[in-house]
Structure 1
């Protein structure tokens, strides 16, 4: 897909040329096709030449086959032949060492690629430049096993092996359709066509856009105005299929000074059911390509790629402002945060985000898709979208509808022939993540070993178990819930009341709010003792402090729910102070707790106050034993015992 330059055939017509080819050897045929960038025909001729076992320059032959496979984006075969080329150490040119290193990245041999990148830059006496490529390989190694949770589907759209851009239109896509069905065996040209979407990754048969916007060779990279009344697209600058060199200037044939049929950006308007060609944009030039247009939603800016002089290298991305109906401003290079010394292409803008493909930034190999944000009028350093958007092959022509969380891109990631497919992707909504802590409602302590079961409710209303686990000593509960789906979650522990929550598919806010603290009431069993640490009294008094009221309220609720039980409420002190004083203080405090509960409506007959002083210490901190304040605190407590 890169460097889409197509030299116009010489004066010979195809029919006559075919007769001439028959008189030439397969090697010459291959060279003829290669020079005309007809790579499918070239590789077949080269294969036949190899079978003939003729005497030829092995280095030249190896180089031609390697280059042809590379131009066909058949990276696996290209790697094999570039490896053979690398054996010609006395003849091999530095550029082919660099190409081989890139191809090794295409087949995910990043460590080996570093070796050849180093060899290349050493040969140029630019060892510092190697660092950039070494870091890119290290980035690929570090990220090749990482992939986002994105659903990707290969569509049934027939690209004819080459995708030249896609754009949203009506209920489907406009893309470049091959003009002939023989695309698997020979070079074919492309027209813009529309195909309606029927289902996920399934499209109806396509139809070529009506009107006079078509060219003899290539049309691609469509971009529509917001009202779909204008289309901007790429096409060859000349319709001429034959010419003599001396006639180029005389007949004003729009070829470059090197005889290259340059790519230009064109505009067409929709009228009466047809697309009417308006012509080439003012930004074009016959000496360089302007390609891959994207028109902003308001129609005021055109983003595109060009290999015009003055760029960072290869194809750079530019933006031009609309001045009038027929003129555009001087293009502005988007700078080093976007562009590199290699190729950038296929810009697509969504609000303040620019998406594009690049071969010169940190990636997995080939062209990867990147995004950059517009901040204070400038685009910041671009970031790789990662897998599965990107692969070690070529990934490009990214478009997205963020409001629908879906979009499309093209890639030649599948198979060994460099075949471009169009893929549809869907970004699942981030699930609701619910975090909570299972707590004893009376003691506010975490509960270990609560059995948590998460069920997904199917379309028939039947819960299907999808996850279960036990809480650890922290009591942590975490539920990850897909959006727009109903769930049922149950909590069970033999020592606590079970709980069940129905989580609706929509409007979950109220239910989710309950999960901050999951409070569980203990199941009462005779002689069970519940230790309550957070009932506080004034110093050396039996007056209950206000911060104790929430705990006391929980006890009230517990006794109301478990209305058949009676309990002993005992108060305990640490060992500091006299035994008699501590006993007397604990009795008063136990009575204060009972009085508070009675004041809240609990029958006094169900409550037995008991003061134990320092007679039931829970540790070694008896009289005259030196202990920390934390150890003494363990002994100062109120306990609830089921009678």
Structure 2
């Protein structure tokens, strides 16, 4: 596909001995007149080929390197992979260690484009190695999980037919309209002169209306789609509102004059028009308007409208893009209510554009989205494919999209495949390609989607549970797994490290629910969507105790209150102690099933026998106070004093300690037995 979205232009080349010729080639390249530029770059590069190696290694090295880049790029951007390969191969052979990783990526794509998949695999891995953790394409192309061979082995899911409307020029961008099809073509319909688009020496694109032949899976030209929408420059790729009374379409930045940015680039823009009756009561497209998120500084194009008419998807290289071109989405707002629930910025009936994120978009090109209720289809060269742009399917799950899946051959080929649309009820649609078997440049193909065997994608769920406040991992948490309808599937318990795992083999990209239950903690439920690729979905949960007075220490639930003070050698409950004990009373009233036991401890000062008896009297005095406040005696399992037998520090009778250190051992503990 000849790059409709503007390509980031490489730096200018300057050759000392052939400055004027190369500068002319650079000017042509920057205007995207790639065919003319390629001829001049080749001529200059061949002059270097006649120089000796000593010259190339010294004063001519930088110039030759840049010429090889530009010669390769001029063909690559025009999808002439055979010639692009010739120059990139020289570039890699001579300057492998010095070229930017992007040229490794392009070289691999040219190898795919000429069918050298084994070599392409090697160079994709090299690209992934060079760019690991720096470029999101590296994970797609490192082929650790899926290889080129896997893509080549995808079961054939489509039958294709080249349709009748195709010409020797570029024909692409089909879209359903009523019982017909609108598409874009560079077929020259001028009666006076041929308007050549110098990028690929073809006439400019306009939109045409085609008649669908369902029986023959064919398309025949009827007429121009709209004289009012077509101009002397590019119009291409369009989408309609569900009622087909509004159209969104791509056009050059043109309003009678062709506008360019400060670099001289004419960007693409999205426009809308409404189907209204004119003064002769004829339905025509009127009120042509620019969409408000267009810009003079970047391109916006290739629209797709959701089936409910609430979202508009499009392609752009606007700020915030992950790669060369990304897919974005905006909300189409009701004209009577421009409020957005999440307070997203909005203007003139649309929300602020949102990037679809790294699952869909890569550092490469994502283009030509098409959205249904079930899936997003798009073209990309940043995911692992067969060469150039390939078509991918990403299943729609609520407002999320699954990991894109390559739709395989014969839908995809070694060159560019894009512009996919489908009627999912009929399993029929159209796709575009510039594969060499076509009639001309880009061709439109009709297809029938075949029933295919389901490829199993298995997932499991594991994770860990921790205390939300302390971060401590929680053992003995009962974990339960349910399907989306609430049917129980499995239960398990966390181990000493707070880890759990369900043994059930689950489907990928499927909704489940998990619950976590532990005595003393608030129950937790979490909806889970398993990952969309083979492996494990990891779910970590945090639990909070039912009250901030309840803590877990070394796996034991306790009621934590302030220190209970007793007078010297006494065991009756003082007024200040009763304030703290009332917290225990209130908590037990709040949780009527709670059962506790009371343990009292002393420090090591005085004799062991004395301390044991004193602590036991204090434990029972504490119990009696709690019962006196209305708590049933059978809810206190025991009240026992342990004297100095369970010190929590080193302060034994023969060890000198401070008063504060001794105080740590003088404690009463309220241990929860049951909730």
Question: Are positions 1:323 and 2:333 aligned together?
Answer: yes
**Are 1:221 and 2:237 matched, yes or no?**
yes
Instruction: After superposition, give the CA deviation of every residue in 1:233-286 in whole Å (9 maximum; x if it has no partner).
Output: 1112235767xxxxxxxxxxx543433222111101223243224211122233
> What pairs with 1:82-93 in structure 2 (closer than 5 Å)?
82-89=88-95, 92-93=99-100
- Matched with 1:407 is 429
Tell me which residue corresponds to 1:234: 250
Aligned-partner Cα distance in 2 for 1:4–1:232: 16
Q: 1:72 aligns with which of 61, 68, 78?
A: 78
- Match for residue 377 of structure 2? 355
- Cα distance in structure 1, aligned partners of 2:232 and 2:6: 12
- Deviation at 1:52? 9.1
Question: Which residue in the other structure is 1:167 paired with?
Answer: 175
Contact 1:172–1:196 (Cα < 8 Å) also in 2: yes
Q: Which residue in the other structure is 1:341 paired with?
A: 363
Alignment pair present for 1:281 and 2:303:
no
Of residues 97, 101, 106, the one that matches 2:104 is: 97
> TM-score, normalising length from structure 2?
0.54
Closer, same or farther: CA 48–275 of 1 in aligned 2, 3 Å? farther
| Bigger Cα displacement from structure 2, 84-93 vs 332-341 | 84-93
Which secondary structure state, in structure 2, belongs to the residue aligned with residue 87 of structure 1?
helix
* Whole-Å separation in 1 of the counterparts to 2:267 and 2:135: 35
What residue number does 1:382 align with?
404
Match of 2:653 in 1: none
The verdict on how the C-alpha distance between 1:190 and 1:61 changes in structure 2, with shifts beyond 3 A counting, is same
2:204 to 189, 193, 212: 189
Counterpart pick for 2:273 among 263, 268, 273? 268
- The question of whether the paired residues in 2 share the 8 Å contact of 1:75 and 1:416 is answered with no
- Quick check: 1:164–1:176 contact (8 Å CA) kept in 2? yes
Cα distance change on mapping 1:241 and 1:99 into 2, 3 Å? farther
Counterpart of 2:441?
Answer: 419
Q: Secondary structure at the match of 2:203?
A: coil
Superposition RMSD in Å: 3.5
Show the 5 A alignment for 1:101-112: 101-112=108-119
Task: Say whether the 8 Å CA contact 1:6–1:37 is kept in structure 2.
Answer: no
Task: Indicate if the aligned counterparts of 2:29 and 2:74 stay in contact, CA closer than 8 A.
Answer: yes
In structure 2, relative to structure 1, the CA distance for the partners of 1:136 and 1:75 (3 Å cut) is farther
Pair 122,160 (structure 1): closer, same or farther in 2 beyond 3 Å: same
Alignment pair present for 1:177 and 2:185:
yes
Change (3 A) 1:80 1:197: same
Unpaired segments of 5 or more residues in structure 2? 8-18, 52-59, 189-193, 277-281, 336-347, 454-675
C-alpha separation in 1, matches of 2:2 and 2:355: 19
Whether the aligned pair in 2 keeps the contact of 1:40 and 1:186 (CA below 8 Å) is: yes
Instruction: Give the 3-state SS of the residue equivalent to 2:183 in structure 1.
Output: strand
Name the CA distance, whole Å, in 2 between partners of 1:32 and 1:114.
35
Provide the C-alpha distance between the structure 2 equivalents of 1:136 and 1:31, rounded to a whole number of angstroms: 40
Residue 44 of structure 1, CA deviation: 4.4
Give the one of 62, 68, 82 matched to 2:68.
62
**Match of residue 37, structure 1, among 32, 43, 53:** 32
- Partner residue, 1:18: none
Deviations 1:424-453 (A, max 9, x none): 00135689xxxxxxxxxxxxxxxxxxxxxx
In structure 1, list runs of 5 or more residues that go unmatched.
Answer: 8-23, 243-253, 432-643
User: For residue 295 of structure 1, what is the aligned residue in structure 2?
Assistant: 305
Alignment-derived partner of residue 598 in structure 1: none
Paired with 1:279 and 1:259, the residues of 2 have a C-alpha distance of 23
1:298 to partner: Cα distance:
3.1
1:434-473 pair list within 5 angstroms:
none
When residues 266 and 123 of structure 1 are mapped into structure 2, their CA distance, relative to the original with a 3 A threshold, is same
Offset, 1:418? 8.6
Structure 1 pair 52/118, CA: closer, same or farther in 2 (3 Å)? Answer: closer
Deviation at 1:145, TM superposition (A): 3.7
Q: Report the alpha carbon displacement of residue 324 of structure 1 after superposing the two structures with TM.
A: 4.1
Secondary structure at 1:407 match in 2: strand
Conserved in 1, the CA contact under 8 Å of 2:249 and 2:303? Answer: yes
Q: Which residue of 2 aligns with 1:4?
A: 4
Separation (CA, whole Å) in 2 of partners of 1:93 and 1:149? 37
Measure, in 1, the Cα distance between the counterparts of 2:135 and 2:265. 35
Alpha-carbon distance between aligned partners in 2 of 1:262 and 1:128, rounded to the nearest angstrom: 26
* d(CA) in 2 for partners of 1:357, 1:72: 17
- TM-score, scaled to structure 1: 0.56
Q: Does 1:143 align with 2:141?
A: no
